[in-house]
Chain A
């Protein structure tokens, strides 16, 4: 009885807060037919936004994955002075509001910022341009891989790695043949979360981008600006594209891992 009750509450909660809103977006996007939705996501601005969003993912996710795994190995396997500080710093993007992250980046890289003048002298534009948006995306999506992988490494223990060493494996062989295959689930989940965050980031990117349509507008920014202009079908259709990107990453990750296990 009580278990059925709990199940009903859990399902109801998920339905009301997650499933219904997302389903409604899909419904609204295709309310006026597939054609209307298709033309809304194939305008030059929309295609550019999609391209830019994918660029964010392609740069931020691999960087944060490599850094995340390396950092997790450092935190879980080594003792060194300053470890607690690094551990705390990793969580900074979780703790700081994305808008504040954007403002902080402007303070460093903006025209009047620390590095702004030096960068401008060399013809490099960071703020209100793609590099700034990439930095902002990396910043906000940095903790996911680390936070997913550290507990997996701790759970795994060091015995398999020690066994590999006694069997003659070099450090690189231990990493690629024992450690990485053992943590692939944690890494995969971290990659999915990182991608979702990189695709969906709004606040930090909005602040540093300047939001120029067709130039520095990602898909999430496009959704918002269309919504503000009462282009509802356009906003919903772009939202569906966002949802599909995340779904594709999730499915892709699951397929890759299944193939490796089999």
Chain B
């Protein structure tokens, strides 16, 4: 186990940032700490890095108890949301910093820095200052700087949060590929569930200073431990007492046993998918998500009457006739069934 957090608590005045948090991060894994702002995810990362001292609990990295060790003795690489570039140093000097303070031989430093600059595609920018780089380039420089000291764990605090959408997507992809190449244990903090799903192998969902669930992306999405996790990792709609994903709703133009009647209020085309906003008999609003072809097959418009039920009730409650459209990913591959 690369990182072992045991019973960590941290208060800032009256605010409990972390309450008895325990988390195990396997060596070589890529883990996301996911949660809304104020959930304690950044504090947990900073406790692991040694930038915050926990009030209680322990942290060990690669089997060594580092709870009392200062940040500089933990051999972690830390990447900040706003890059924390050393503004008075060139890109080369920034990347070399960790090696220089360790008093490594000059030739070794030069060689290692060149390798890293090539890795982050900044070779031609070595003698520029950070102010001459774009946001994406600065963050790649910060990554190279963190990797220069060959850290046993790489910690990233909302690393893509300050970048625009296109650069963010590019860097996510790049981080994923980098991790496949160098396999350093990596933990990153994000409030964006798409980012967590796309990049991480393991997700720890946090709320109010506690960890709600830890699991693989598919596990957290499909088998959320509670409604908070369900709501945070994806869209949720309610059908009566049940909370479920909008794409797990089935719509039908004809009456189905056990289904609820609803009026279509709005049909919103969202590119690949179509959101259908509905109002059920009781007056409650719900929303279903269909693929484009499903929506076309169903052919509903505003004011139409439909029958709604959950996908997993399909088998037992199927009626004899009626056009039937499923919105589950598995079913979407097949053409809509017709009786």
Which chain A residues have a beta carbon within 8 Å of chain B's beta carbons? 159-160, 162-170, 173, 177-178, 181-182, 261
Shortest distance from the beta carbon of A4 to any chain B beta carbon, whole Å: 33
B86, A165: Cβ atoms closer than 8 Å: no
A166 to B142 Cα, complex, angstroms:
12
Give the residue of A159, A160, A162, A177 whose beta carbon is less than 8 angstroms from that of B101: A177
B166: Cβ under 8 A from any A Cβ: no
Report which residue of A164, A170, A261 has the largest number of chain B beta carbons within 10 angstroms of its beta carbon.
A164
A181–B88 CA distance with the chains assembled, in angstroms: 7
Size bracket of the B interface? 20 to 34
Distance (Å) between the CB of B213 and the closest chain A CB?
28
By the criterion CB–CB under 8 Å, are A159 and B84 in contact? yes
Give the Cβ gap from A79 to chain B, nearest Cβ, in Å: 11
Known: A160-B84, A178-B86, A182-B88. A166 touches B101 (CB 8 A): no
Give the distance to chain A from B61, nearest Cβ to Cβ, in Å: 12
Contact with A along B65-107 (1 / 0, CB 8 A): 0000011111111101010111110000000011001100000
Known: A177-B101, A181-B88, A182-B88. A166 touches B82 (CB 8 A): no
B84 touches A165 (CB 8 A): no
B62 → chain A closest CB, angstroms: 16
The answer to whether A159 and B80 have CB atoms under 8 Å apart is yes
Residues of A within 8 A of B85 (CB): 160
- B77, A159: Cβ atoms closer than 8 Å: no
* A162-B71, A173-B101 known; A167-B84 Cβ under 8 A: no
Which residues on B are within 8 Å of A, measured CB to CB? 49-51, 70-78, 80, 82, 84-88, 97-98, 101-102, 142, 145-146, 148-149
CB distance from B46 to the nearest CB of A (A): 8
Contact A168 B84, beta carbon cutoff 8 Å: no
Among B72, B88, B146, contact of A170 (Cβ-Cβ < 8 Å)? B72
Q: Which of A165, A169, A173 is the most central at the interface, judged by chain B CB atoms within 10 Å of its CB?
A: A165
Closest A residue to B87 using CB positions: A182
Given A173-B101, A182-B87: A165 and B82 within 8 A (CB)? no
Besides A166-B72, A177-B97, 12 other A-B contacts (C-beta < 8 A):
A159-B80, A162-B84, A163-B84, A165-B50, A165-B51, A166-B77, A167-B101, A168-B72, A168-B75, A168-B149, A169-B72, A182-B87
CA distance A165 to B84 in the complex (A): 12
What is the CA–CA distance of A261 and B72 in the complex, to the nearest angstrom?
28
User: Which residues of the other chain, A, contact B146 by a CB distance below 8 angstroms?
Assistant: 166-167
The 8 Å CB contact of B78, one of A166, A177, A178, A261, is A166
Residues in A whose Cβ lies below 8 Å from that of B76: 166
Can you list 5 A-B contacts with CB-CB less than 8 angstroms, sorted by A residue number? A162-B71, A163-B78, A167-B101, A168-B101, A261-B88
Q: Is the CB of A160 within 8 A of B78?
A: no
Shortest 10 CB-CB contacts between residues of A and residues of B: A167-B98, A159-B84, A166-B78, A163-B84, A165-B71, A169-B101, A181-B88, A168-B72, A173-B101, A166-B71
Complex CA–CA separation, A177 to B76 (angstroms): 20
Q: Assuming the A-B contacts A178-B86, A182-B88, are A167 and B145 also in contact, with contact meaning beta carbons closer than 8 angstroms in the complex?
A: yes
A188 CB to nearest B CB, Å? 14
Could you say which residues of chain B place their CB within 8 Å of the CB of A170?
A: 72, 101
Residue of A at shortest CB range from B100? Answer: A177
Cβ B149 vs Cβ A167 within 8 A: yes
Instruction: Give the docked Cα–Cα distance between A124 and B88 (Å).
Output: 47
B335 to chain A, nearest CB (A): 55
Q: Contact: B88 with A166, CB < 8 Å?
A: no
**Cα distance A168–B74 when bound, in Å?**
8
Cα distance A165–B53 in the bound complex, in angstroms: 14
Evaluate contact between B87 and A167: CB separation under 8 angstroms. Answer: no
How many whole Å from B12's CB to the nearest CB in chain A?
A: 12
* Residues of chain B lying within 8 A (CB to CB) of residue A159: 80, 82, 84
> Which residues of chain B are within 8 angstroms of A166 by Cβ–Cβ distance?
49-51, 71-72, 74, 76-78, 146
Inter-chain CA distance A150–B184, complex, in Å, is 39
Residues of chain A with a CB closer than 8 A to B50's CB: 165-166
B88 near A164 with CB under 8 A, answer no
Instruction: Please report the C-alpha to C-alpha distance between residue A167 and residue B98 in the assembled complex, in whole angstroms.
Output: 5
State the CA gap A178–B98 with chains docked (Å). 12
User: In the bound complex, do residue A168 and residue B88 qualify as a contact, i.e. CB atoms below 8 Å apart?
Assistant: no
Contacts of A164 in B (CB 8 A): 86, 97, 101
- Determine the distance from Cα of A167 to Cα of B149 in the docked complex, in whole angstroms: 7
A168 touches B98 (CB 8 A): yes
A158 → B minimal CB distance (Å): 9
With both chains docked as a complex, state the minimum distance between the C-beta of B78 and any C-beta of chain A, in angstroms: 4
Q: How far is the CB of B11 from chain A (nearest CB, A)?
A: 15
**Residues on the B chain within 8 Å of A182, using CB:** 87-88
Q: Is the CB of B80 within 8 A of A163?
A: yes
| Contact residues in B for A177 (Cβ distance below 8 Å) | 97, 101
